[in-house]
Amino acid sequence: VLKTSGIIPTQRNAPVRCNGTVIGSMNSCSVSACGPLQKCSRKGWPSEVELFGDYDSFSGNNSLLAEVYDLEQRCILPIPESTTDSRSRRKYDFLSTMEEQKDSSLNPHGDSLENLPSSQLLFLKESEECLIHPHKVANVKERDKISDGPHCHDTENVKQDSEPSTSSLSEPRRRSLKDHLKSAMTENARAPASLVSKSKQLKEAVVSEEIGVAERTHSASFVDIGPFYGLPTKVKELLAEFRGIDKLYDWQHACLTLESLQQRKNLIYSLPTSGGKTLVAEILILQELLCKQMDVLMILPYVAIVQEKVAGLSGFGMELGFLVEEYAGSRGRIPPIKRRLKKSLYIATIERGHTLVNSLIETGRIGDLGLVVIDELHMLGEGSRGAVLEMTLAKILYTSKTTQIIGMSATLNNVGDLQQFLKAEYYTSNFRPVELKEYVKIRDTIYEVDNKAEDGFRFSRLLNFKYSTGLQKTDPDHLIALVTEVIPKYSCLVFCPTKKNCENVAEMICKHLNRDYKKLKEKEKRDLLTDLRNICNGRLCPVLKQTIPYGISYHHSGLTSEERKRIEEAYSSGILCLLTCTSTLAAGVNLPARRVILRAPYVATEFMKKNQYKQMIGRAGRAGIDKAGESILIVQEKDRNLVQKLVHSPLESCYSNLLLEFNKGIRSLILSLVGLKIATSPEEVFQFMHLTLFSVQPQLLPEGKSLQDVTTEVLQGLKQNGLLKDSTSCDGGQILVITRLGQATYKGSIDLAYCDTLYADLKKGLEGLILESCLHLIYLTTPYSMVLQCSPNWMIYFRQYSQLSPTEQQVAEIVGVPESFITKKASGQAVRMDVDIGTASRLYLSLVLHALLKVNNIWEVAEKFSISRGFIQTLLNSAASFSSSVLHFCEELDEFWVYKALLTELTKKLTYCVKAELIPLMEVAGVLEARAKQLYNSGYKTLAHLANANPDVLVKTIEHLSRSQARQIVSSAKASKICEKDRTLIRNLATMSDFRGSSSISRYLSASMLETGMCEPL
């Protein structure tokens, strides 16, 4: 109260003085101002009586000083015999300690109240009254209600005492705490009052106090630091500010208050799409970071979703004091930096999450990971990526008994298997914020999906839209009729089987729309087209140029990530009302619509799965906007029976994929177990295998074989391939040991199918590595997995080969693709040469990457090679990730020492693929190529420029930059700049003192940098 009134200095932890001596400090106060002070001249300050005369109140029964005095007096009382519980006894012990130290208040180091904020003093007072005078509790609560917001004393109702106070006559002769406070407040009142508004002071004070409690807590136990599910009030305010969420759904409240979560049990929860699952996960993450002071790992299925989530949670991190780190592609340090002062939220793809967990196990830090959250848990059943996710979770379960696992999904069936695997509780609900109605269209009739109907479909209505003969041929499925029932007033998504179909449908709809559609939000559409041109270096897709003026766009992987992001923003803001998209949008970012139309029950050429169908139709209905959402599946008569089975069948079960592709998953798992020393004998390997999802599903075992049989066969295979070997321990027992090649393979997360090939390619490269150009290095880091996704255009191949320098053409000869082979393939002649087609295709992809690093323009390279922009970007991201893996592979093998420095620079080039001057800017979190160009062109050309920037000026200077994004960029730039300075300082000291990596100075400064959490050590 006094602090926010200006009587007590507003700085947190400001010293409280009595006759010039510090007697304590004032922490943030959680109560509001009681009113302004009397006006007084700075030259002639009033006496104590005059200063507090209008508010005394201070010597009355209802005043703060009177309450403090009463509290002090009660501290002297002995503990009642009835007080037997440990919690009450701890409170009395604390109060007794206060009484023992009452005479040492003049000693600044001996004041037990020094670090207690006023709200905690009041809490102790109320707790004491609860214990001593239970019958007074109701009166106390009635008099002083403390809500989530600031507490305010009504100054108008305070009795003013005009007569001299005589209470001091009956007080003890010693100076009480009340006297100290009153005297101190008199002196501090003479300090200049803060010019900051009282409401702002109060708001910051409440937040500082709540977060301050969390910062003083260093144990893993849950500490309730606020009224919002144990979190500070600031969290609730941020959810309202960033997400527009003012209130949780009933199911969210029920889930967050589950007894199993309080007991830190693992949990699986499942709800329909758009039900609000992510918010529950985010609140649990914040509880772990702020209340339990532990690191958190969040695993997401795709790079785009990781980047979206990093951007979405960075604002919370800046406001609440934790770090958000991206682990996607080649981004993210392995092992992560160990910080003391700040906790980290690692947001990772499935593959990078696995690598991160391996590094934490290896460094003995897996216990620092308090919580692991898996979005789209059904990905466990998705091929080789599912196997990687299963390995990650099994390792966490085996190596850390304190790490909690939370899994969520909208499409789970065999939950029992997953519960047994994760040792988890299960929560489910059918809640949807908006009702979903499912329809099927056959010819010109629309049927509602109804389980009670005879054939599962119930007649709904006939399409009432007059088609000309020509339009009927152009649009036999009546897409235009279905779309125009919704747009432009509402939004619509049209899912198409292929990328080309997306573009064709968007063009077809635009050709038959009324020109009045162009007049809606005309300026915003022009701005969108301008932004897309800037993103694409002046180029613009002709399809988008035609469709966007009508408020329509396509959305698929053929677009670059920046193009997709800008189109998603335009759709979310209502500039675009219709997207034609592939199924990847359903599994990616959240873009709801009033109506969802499925163009056909196919994904590419395969019939749709129930999980895919549910994800797509789940986008229908926008919470808070629509009262209902609807999905319409367009069906041909020939597919009617298949569709009936599809819409009424259960969801697909989730099965282990460890035996997929010739046991690739289980081989990788066992190799890493031995490499990480999780298991050093066959028996320990068997023990671990019983913790996998695979062990829960014995039906997956080959006929006539047990889990132990399969494990033994895999161990033998790894030994035969030279990845594992038997050895003898110190006590004479037989143990498993990983070989150098095996160590390099698991450290680099190299696919076991390619480890021998990679080793041979790197070995051959040492015989004649050409460094005049980076083409040879690019070839060595071109991912093998991308080869099957590309069929070379041999004429383009020959043209690009011809444009290479003689030295670069020599690279083709070295890797085994002679010029004569390319010439014959381009001319259509029969080829009898013994050339591996896989090697030739890999070199073709290397030429694409080589051209991209030269011109830094995806559009130009896409036109040159007749490849979609999206594929080139996917290739670039995969190459950057594989280059990082090859680097880690080489670090474990001494014969490849020469590659270490070379691949470090190449990985950086592939990661950013921009001009050299933009790389420092792109190392800042939240800055991609287009944003880096904006900043550079606006004069922010270095980290120092960004670190010293004013966020408000940035918002005005840079187009489409929000204030939260500007603050994130400036904050990240400051951290990067500090790291840069620290590294320079260490290098200079090492040089001056002739110290190197083992020097005591270097070790000391590196340790200091680690403890402050600023950057990685050298």
The predicted structure's pLDDT at residue 68: 53
The predicted structure's pLDDT at residue 485: 92
Residue 580, pLDDT score: 96
Coil, strand or helix: which one is 339?
coil
Give the rounded percent of residues in the chain with a pLDDT score beyond 90.
44
Supply the pLDDT for residue 108: 38
* Cα 467 to Cα 444: distance, rounded to the nearest angstrom: 11
- Average pLDDT in the 288-315 region? 90
Token pair for 228: 């919002």
* pLDDT value for 55: 39
**Greater model confidence, 526 or 832:** 526
Q: What is the pLDDT of residues 788-834, one digit of tens each?
A: 888 899 999 999 999 999 999 999 999 999 999 999 999 988 887 78
Q: What number does CATH give the domain 219-428? A: 3.40.50.300
Residue 87: the pLDDT is 40
- Percent of the chain at pLDDT above 70? 73
Could you state, in order of their start, the residue ranges of all structural domains in the chain?
2-214, 219-428, 435-640, 660-747
What pLDDT score does 143 carry?
38
pLDDT range class, residue 686, cuts 50, 70, 90: very high
Q: Is the pLDDT of residue 762 over 90?
A: yes
> What torsion do the CA atoms of 949, 950, 953, 954 make, to the nearest 10 degrees?
50
Kindly tell me if the per-residue pLDDT of 179 is higher than 80. Answer: no
Q: Give the pLDDT score at 561.
A: 82
Three-state SS sequence of 926-981? CCCHHHHHHHHHCCCCCHHHHHCCCHHHHHHHCCCCCHHHHHHHHHHHHHHHHHHH
- Average pLDDT on 391-400 reads 96
Identify the CATH number of the domain defined by range 435-640. Answer: 3.40.50.300
- Could you tell me which of 604, 503, 595, 591 has the C-alpha nearest to residue 554? 503
Tens-place pLDDT, residues 470-483: 888 889 999 999 99
Same CATH fold assignment for domains 219-428 and 660-747 = no
**What integer is the mean pLDDT of 849-873?**
89
Residue 318 has pLDDT above 80, yes or no: yes
Mean residue pLDDT across the chain? 79
Q: How do residues 255-296 score in pLDDT, each as one tens digit? A: 999 999 989 999 999 988 878 899 999 999 999 999 999 999
| For residues 511-515, average pLDDT | 90
Length of the chain: 1018
pLDDT the model gives residue 456: 85
Question: Mean pLDDT, to the nearest integer, of 319-334?
Answer: 87
Query: Which tens digits make up the pLDDT trace of 584-613?
Result: 888 767 788 999 999 999 998 899 999 899
Cβ–Cβ < 8 Å for 98, 112: yes
* Rounded-to-integer distance, Cα 893 and Cα 758, Å: 13
- Do the Cβ atoms of 232 and 213 come closer than 8 Å? no
Q: Could you tell me the pLDDT band of residue 120, with boundaries at 50, 70 and 90?
A: very low
Mean pLDDT score, 410-414: 88
Mean pLDDT of 25-34: 41
pLDDT at position 577 over 90 = yes
Work out the average pLDDT over 87-97: 41
Q: Where do the H-state alpha helices sit in 650-726?
A: 660-675, 682-689, 693-696, 707-720
Residues 381-406, mean pLDDT to the nearest whole number: 94
Long-range contacts of 705-713 (CB under 8 A, 24+ apart): 710/659, 710/663, 710/666, 711/666, 711/670, 711/682, 711/685, 711/686, 712/682, 713/663
Q: Is the pLDDT of residue 27 over 80?
A: no
Place of tokens 């006539």: 704
pLDDT reported for residue 583: 86
**Rounded Cα gap, residues 938 and 944, in angstroms:** 14
Whole-number pLDDT of residue 206: 56
* pLDDT for 965: 77
- Alpha helix ranges (H) inside 400-487: 415-422, 469-474, 479-484
Q: CATH classification of 660-747, choosing from 3.40.47.10, 3.30.465.10, 1.10.10.10, 1.20.120.80?
A: 1.10.10.10
User: Which of 227-231, 358-362, 674-678 has the weakest average pLDDT?
Assistant: 227-231
- Residue 607 to residues 439, 604, 635, 645, 724: CA-CA distances in angstroms? 18, 8, 12, 12, 42
In angstroms, the CA 870 to CA 535 distance is 14
Q: For 72-86, 559-573, 657-671, 900-914, which range has the lowest pLDDT when averaged over its residues?
A: 72-86
Is the Cβ–Cβ distance between 159 and 165 less than 8 Å?
Answer: no
Picking from 168-182, 324-338, 584-598, 706-720, which range would have the lowest pLDDT averaged per residue? 168-182
What is this structure's pTM?
Answer: 0.72
User: pLDDT-based confidence at 205, cuts 50/70/90?
Assistant: low
State whether residue 74 is helix, strand or coil.
helix
- Least confident among 21-35, 232-246, 798-812, 862-876: 21-35
For β-strands 369-375 and 295-299, DSSP reports them as parallel
Question: Which range has the worst mean pLDDT, 396-405, 439-448, 988-997?
Answer: 988-997
